[in-house]
Structure 1
Amino acid sequence: MPSLHPMYRGISANFVRGGATVLENAAHGSVEERNFEKTPIFYLLSRGERTGRWILAKGEGLDYPQLAEFALAGGTDHLVSLCEFPNELALRGLGFSLTSDAPGGFSDDQLAIVKALVPALGLAAYRVAVSKTATEILAVYTGARTSARILAGETQRGTGGSINAAILLADLRNFTALTEVYQPGEIVEFLNEHFELIDRHVEENSGEILKFMGDSVLAIFPTDADDPQKACMAALASAKNLLKATEELNRERTGNGGPNIGVDVVLHLGEVFYGNVGARGRLDFTVIGRAVNEASRLEKLCGTLEQPLLMSESFATTCAVPCQYLGSFELRGVSKRAEVFRLADAAE
């Protein structure tokens, strides 16, 4: 079946008599996708037909690599049936293939059984595809943890609650100036490269990106009530890894004549509201609160202090690593002065 997943063009389930079922995802740009035009399914689609049969024992269809492989394995007959899904979805339908190794191929009775089976199989596959697509696409746009809460029924404005979390806010340095120099397509490519790095290192440490805001990223690491240090260490590991990965990316990009794009990261620990915010018919499942505002204001100090990684007092005193005190600073819109820290150098 085709897929709406941004990483995969389609999914197939392959099974052989006496063996296990194997699920395979064909990534966009993969060999499987590039070779799709060399398949019986593409042949039927291009001709507007819904069924096709190739008697392998008579040498039919052997110009298709897959059918030639089946014939070498003893296949004698190959049958393909297509089932269309409702056209309001980008999921076009189901391709169902059967290969026989019987000496005479499929009998008339077997062909009749397959013909009767396909509509029911298509309905079942459609139900699976819609459910799977809704779950996967929601996770792509909101994150796995958030999508699970939405699918569990938290869909009304105001639903949610207060949680304690380590907050990671990452912002691309001087990125606005690049929009004056580079074309929109190039700008998007730069953003995607950095967002990919940030997402990879946030996710591998059990964090979740909640929002892309222009050239900024907001991620959270919910804390365990008995061990808030664990979330802080996860957020810190993400920050250190993504900064290192950014240096490597910049070396590669500048080596090819591209720009050096730094990343400023702020780590904070505090209470936030995690839930649905917005209009009744247009919601955003996100975090808001004083801690989020403080993290945003702290990020502005990265450039002032010439530090790519800053930590709030609550974060620095909770994480289990040596930190250096940088001073007390006023934050716009925040009544209390912020005590700001950075990681201590090894020599210190």
Structure 2
Amino acid sequence: MYGGVSANFLRGGATTIENAEYGTAAVLKFEKTPIYYLLGRGEASGRWILADGEGIDSYPQLAEFALGGGTDHLVNLLEFPKEAALRGVSLSLTSDLPGGFSDDQLAVVTQLFPALGLACYRIAASKTAADFLAVYTGAKTSARILAGDIQRGKGAAINAAVLLADLRNFTALTEVYQPGEIARFLDEHFELIGRHVEENSGEILKFMGDSVLAIFPTGSEEGEDPRKACTAALASARNLLEANEALNLRRKREGGPDIGVDVVLHLGEVFYGNVGARGRLDFTVIGRAVNEASRLEKLCGELGQHLLMSESFAAACGTACERLGSFELRGVSKRADVFKLAAATL
């Protein structure tokens, strides 16, 4: 998401944090800095005497410092180890003393910068690892992993509302569109699904091809509340289906495909924890409720519905629902009563 992050410390002023998102003006602004100049020349340090006008015409940042009374500017680039996701850190200092930095001050800075770079690497590596883990596993799941839940088989049985979303007839598109276009379509739909799940306190656990698995745990510090979890899951489902229609209308105007989304909502007990091989674990949910949700999803096309609910979910969600009938689910011994939203609530 970001090409870089900068922290700015001003004597007597507030500390500010700036995130430079890819494709934004902030990235273009970076290309007009002394840091970019040093990177392009393969140099690790630079100094500009602002009192003499050095760099002011070339770099807006230095012109701003000079206007604020700056007389001298130092930049030191420290490269992180190759295995780190981040390229490195740049440390800059600006003086407003007449004559700029003294020789004694420069000697101190020369000793100080490597230590600061090491501290920055430690902080950045830890923060980056946590952020990466959250991106791949979800914020709540990553917190459990970082807290030490990393043993195979370790987990717990929890009650949760399960949301399973699947793109309808998506496989057929792979015969019409190039892989890059297919990936773009997936990203667009997964983005809106993820947004509406997360804004209702749910968590996506897995992307499976063109499907999304998310949960809304019923338990909290206040105790079990199945209705609250189901209400949140239902709000997510309705919002994402509405957003998907808007996405398809836009794409249709651009000559693209209409891709429907089928959503199934279920309520039940799942195992939430680590499963997998010794060297490759997956922190996910498994169990009867997940299997039943997967089987229910197959009924969406047969029944001509984009949103189906199990009996347990319909009973707990607090919204008027209409029974569609009782159906056999592959691999499930008991027939399942299947529901949709009542017409008045659509």
Q: Distance in 2 between matches of 1:138 and 1:82?
A: 27
Q: Say whether 1:201 aligns with 2:196.
A: yes
Q: Which residue of 2 aligns with 1:221?
A: 216
Distance, in Å, in 1 between the alignment partners of 2:285 and 2:321 is 27
Residue 60 of structure 1, CA deviation = 0.4
Structure 1 residue 276: Cα displacement: 0.5
Would the aligned equivalents of 1:156 and 1:280 in 2 still touch at CA under 8 Å? Answer: no
Cα distance in 2 for residues equivalent to 1:85 and 1:342:
55
**Partner SS state of residue 38, structure 1:** coil
The equivalent of 2:304 in structure 1 is 306
* Shift of residue 198, structure 1, vs aligned partner: 0.4
Partner secondary structure for residue 346 of structure 1: helix
Quick check: 1:206–1:234 contact (8 Å CA) kept in 2? yes
Residue 66 of structure 1 corresponds to 61
Q: Which amino acid aligns with 1:53?
A: R
Equivalents in 1 of 2:31, 2:6: separation in Å?
16
Paired letter, 1:204: E
What is the CA–CA distance in structure 2 between the aligned matches of 1:86 and 1:297, rounded to whole Å? 48
What code does the residue aligned with 1:168 have? Answer: L
The match for 1:175 is 170
Q: In the aligned structure 1, how far is the partner of 2:216 from the partner of 2:312?
A: 14
Partner amino acid for 1:195? F
Tell me the distance in 1 between the aligned counterparts of 2:237 and 2:345: 21
Matches of 1:99 and 1:177, distance apart in 2: 59
- 8 Å contact from structure 2 (residues 77, 88) kept in 1: yes
Distance 1:296 1:178 in 2: 22
Alignment correspondent of 1:137: 132
Secondary structure in 1 aligned to 2:31? helix
Q: Does 1:97 align with 2:92?
A: yes
* Distance in 2 separating the partners of 1:226 and 1:275: 19
CA shift for structure 1 position 189: 0.3
- Residue 93 and residue 347 in structure 1: after superposition, are their counterparts in 2 closer, same or farther (change >3 A)? closer
Tell me what 1:339 maps to: 337
Q: Distance in 1 between matches of 2:195 and 2:122?
A: 31
Q: Is the 8 A contact 1:55 1:77 kept in 2?
A: yes
- TM-superposition CA deviations, 1:245-296 (whole Å, max 9, x none): 0011011000111111010000000000000111011110000000000000
Query: Residues 164-204 of structure 1: CA distance to partner in whole angstroms, max 9, x if unpaired?
Result: 00000000011011111111100000000000000000000
After alignment, is 108-117 or 213-222 more displaced?
108-117
SS of equivalent residue, structure 2 residue 335: strand
Gap change, CA 1:194 and 1:11, over 3 Å in 2: same
Query: Is 1:295 matched with 2:293?
Result: yes
Q: Distance in 1 between matches of 2:125 and 2:18?
A: 18
Between 76-85 and 308-317, the greater mean CA deviation after superposition: 76-85
CA distance in 1, matches of 2:69, 2:319: 64
The number of equivalent residue pairs is: 342
1:4 maps to which residue?
A: none
Distance 2:184 2:133 in 1: 23
How far residue 11 of structure 1 moved from its aligned partner, in angstroms, is 1.1
**In structure 2, what residue type is equivalent to 1:54?**
W
RMSD: 1.2
Partner SS for 2:298: helix
Secondary structure of the residue aligned to 2:224 is coil
**2:145 equivalent in structure 1:** 150
CA distance in 2, matches of 1:245, 1:129: 36
Q: Give the aligned partner of residue 108 of structure 2.
A: 113
- The equivalent of 1:41 in structure 2 is 35
Is this contact kept in 2: 1:162–1:271, CA < 8 A?
A: yes
Shift of 1:9: 1.5
Pick from 18, 35, 39 the counterpart of residue 12 of structure 2.
18
Q: Deviations over 1:67-118 (max 9, x none)?
A: 1121122211111011122122232211011111222211112111111110
Runs of 4+ in 1 over 4 A off after TM superposition: none
Structure 1, 260-269 or 20-29: larger mean CA deviation: 20-29
Structure 2 unaligned regions, length at least 5: none
Maintained 8 Å contact 2:320/2:345: no
Residue-by-residue CA offset, 1:301-345 (whole Å, 9 max, x unaligned): 110111110000000000111001110000011111010001111
Q: Alpha carbons of 1:347 and 1:66: their partners in 2 closer, same or farther (altered >3 Å)? A: closer
Q: Determine the C-alpha separation between the residues in 2 that align with 1:258 and 1:97.
A: 48
Relative to the length of structure 2, the TM-score reads 0.97
C-alpha separation in 2, matches of 1:182 and 1:88: 36
Could you tell me which runs of 5 or more consecutive residues in structure 1 were left unpaired when the two chains were aligned.
1-6
SS of 1:325's equivalent in the other structure is strand
CA contact (8 A) 1:50 1:82 kept: yes
How many Å separate the matches in 1 of 2:307 and 2:82?
49
Letter in 2 for 1:186: E
Within 5 Å, give how 1:246-261 maps onto structure 2.
246-261=244-259
TM-aligned CA deviation for residue 347 of structure 1: 7.7
